[in-house]
A and B are shown apart, each in its own frame.
Chain A
């Protein structure tokens, strides 16, 4: 697959939130205002990009030669936990202002399904190193797109009269459902129309 095709697949066609339901917890939890939504999205994009590459290298460089492919789940989650911690420390040292913006979201990212999900998908789809990087970044961008749209909707919803039982999480899910309906317009045909598949 070309890089553009991978990008379109993970941002629009297989959007992790709206099509595959990965990373719903932060999507509902952190989408109350657009500032934190952007912060969460960017922090996640950064982490998915880095972990995709590192997990790919470890899988093909260490696990496959040793015949330990069945340890991928344990290995990947440890890599992710360690990397998130490392990223947090590096950002804190290099750019305190960036740390201030993204810092509180980083611990949450370890248990975000998207990070582990895209690392595993890179292996099952047998992407090469660069393709894994592109898919990791695109998955993060797809999440960012969805969470920014969602936070804008929720900011408007705060000003709208909503029935009491639907207040909060239920109406957020229903809005996400309507967004997912709109995202159904992006399907595999998009790739063949653009002569990418």
Chain B
């Protein structure tokens, strides 16, 4: 089920109302958690009923693995083996669904197997793995009940595209009581509205421009492709951040606190800073469960750089079964290494220049993320560097890039609001909270402005979130 669908507009209020009723009539958390599990499986299986079986299998495997690690297996070598077995089982499942289709295509060509990729599989497998890892490390005890754990592993706001929650952070919240709290719900609704603004007002419009440029990349000038790729950087941010923001707002309405997934990434003044602000839940997952166990920065510079490359290559593989994602991941790692290599020179740059360079490096790498294949990416990059055609800056009307005057002006206005919102977030850390604290007339003006902008953009049509395919 899409967050930006009529179905969800009905689904969420029903889930929330029943959830609060169950919490108020029962002293036990059990009925409310059973309701959340039911709602989450409905949410997940709405697109394809088969998805639910895989989610259930992942839940069972990780729950019992955690149980065995804590209560049954005590010898450390056996624990390690059990952990490795669980990791192989889950990552193997992930690998199968992500890569079997590609491998089959490479081997069998047109007779390749058609394998359904369950949406969100990368997210909930990684989230469930945190449970096993943390129990193995001894930093948490297994869930109090299977019901709580199943509610955690299937929690619908984060199920399809994260944030990838850590078990020690989210799981205990399923054992707490969440009563109706007006302020919290209002805050959650503002966040959701902002998430819809990012998706419907910005990402959907940016997608039209980017798609038009990339669909005609052979005829486009280097300048147009450069603009198109920069816009794609913005699109992917708006698209993915919107999902995370709606997810966080949805969870907040129900009383849950989720991890922030984006922290104004385009204000980053270095690539490493950018990756600490972008898809935070995934990057910190890789940091804690791959980079640090590999030795992190404790084994010398050479090993550190190798570890960075490994982590970002894995991150690329996690994103998709295509060499373009692997190149994107490797480039992202490589830029951080290069940045460290010239840190002396960089320190003399003004901050704005560092921010611009970071954005351009990110955009360079993201070209591979957007391209259908390496050939397209290389053509785009080649044209930007060899066929820029400065004259096309003057001849390319912004209104000719798929959006008419009205929608283009709407987009520009939206981007200005995004900039203001992110500036406030950068300074205070909570723009939604600042809005909630405004005087009534200002607050309601902002509310109506957001609602009108969202409604005014609904005609563009509901589009899937980019990260669904991962």
A binds B: no
What is A's interface to B at a CB cutoff of 8 Å?
none
What is B's interface to A at a CB cutoff of 8 Å?
none
